Structure 1
């Protein structure tokens, strides 16, 4: 799938540079289900997923991975994924563990590190391009985030820094927002929109699987 993904990324970048709006789909991984990509007139591109709240306080990684796989028609329990990821009571240590499991089931995925905080413009451009290419080809992105007080998604406890995984399942290319499926369900916020700019500040110094 690497060659196909590279071709799709190149095509997407070319279309962005030329102002075109359509992004060509690539062939699906053998054995995976055709993804349901819902394209709305207002610029929204959204994947159909099976959302679940994480079953323990430290299973955000397994839950986010499960949500991503469900877009491909692959359904594993959070417990099974926790074992495959090597998740422990302290969580899932590194985004590369998520990439390994995702690519084992669905191909396609690579680990993208974002060590700079704030991110460089090149890192932000790559993140947006990855979101567009992945979503339009039916692959949600799993992001490892750090959300400190003052820079948090809706509902997060404002008096602590949250280390977390969630899933990017859509984007809007008109207002540059991203749709998040958040297994934590803080204050009942499960699926919600964030600005792309905020997402790009939440990922450093961690990374994402795309």
Structure 2
């Protein structure tokens, strides 16, 4: 049957225009289904019905553009593809926790232990007059470290007069000046006799000074007895040098510039502490 006869056949079979439009729509729908079916079998769409909806929309558009269909039929929106689930972030590499090394402990150098007994080399010298016991004792104590100047030079620096040298504070200042140090300090024993604490302090100070090579100067008054039984009396006051110790400082070695009875002698630290009552010493 040729196309012209087919048209006549449809014209006689479908007498009204509305019936013809319906027939065309049905025909196109069938064609669309036949096309979409193999495609859906070969590869499934992620959104079911998408291919059919597109085919129907195309058919409707064709009918509308030819003027045979009334209103354009919009194709249903295709289902939005599900957003891909975000891939989990790669876990950051786990670093093995490192235990910090323990800080290095630097030990302080061990404090040298003072010997149980020590005597210093010094330059003994008698005082050149009755009131130079201070300069003479200061010179002997300084001679353990330096070549000390004359008694006159030291007396002038300390302000010594015919009344003597004022106090142990003056011998301390001069010893530091002569030796270029700040080692020496002054310790006073204000009472007429020393307390136990002051005796212990004298023992510690004598050991500290002499074990480090520094002579000590003591300002005494009154009388005291040495370990040999010798008796020493200076009611107006006097200065002596301490140039050694024994028995861990319980006994001290004294250089006396007055030279009464002996130039040097040993005495207990307790007796020396009491002998300095109301006075003091440089160590």
Task: Specify whether residues 116 and 67 from structure 1 end up closer, same or farther in structure 2 by C-alpha distance, changes over 3 A only.
Answer: same
Counterpart position of 2:232? 156
Note if 1:193 corresponds to 2:266.
yes
In the aligned structure 2, how far is the partner of 1:175 from the partner of 1:81?
29
The answer to whether 1:167 aligns with 2:250 is no
1:157-187 per-position Cα deviation (integer Å, ceiling 9, x unaligned): 5xx6241000010000268210001100013
Q: Which residue of 2 aligns with 1:29?
A: none
Change in Cα spacing, 1:118 to 1:105, as seen in structure 2 (3 Å) is: same
Report the secondary structure of 1:161's partner residue.
strand
The two structures have a TM-score, normalised by structure 2, of 0.56
Alignment length, in residue pairs? 168
Q: Deviations over 1:105-141 (max 9, x none)?
A: 2221111111022212211111110000000000011
Call closer, same or farther: CA 1:175–1:50 in 2, change over 3 Å.
Answer: closer
Q: Distance in 2 between matches of 1:69 and 1:99?
A: 11
Cα contact 1:64–1:166 (8 A) shared by 2: yes
Match of residue 136 from structure 1: 211
Q: Which protein has greater RCO, CA pairs closer than 8 Å, 6+ apart?
A: 1
Structure 2 unaligned residues grouped into runs of 5+: 1-110
1:206 aligns with 2:282: no
Unaligned runs of 5+ in 1: 1-10, 13-21, 24-38
SS of the aligned residue for 1:128 comes to helix
Q: RMSD value over aligned CA atoms?
A: 1.9
- Could you tell me which of 188, 199, 203 is aligned with 1:113? 188
Q: Distance in 1 between matches of 2:248 and 2:197?
A: 21
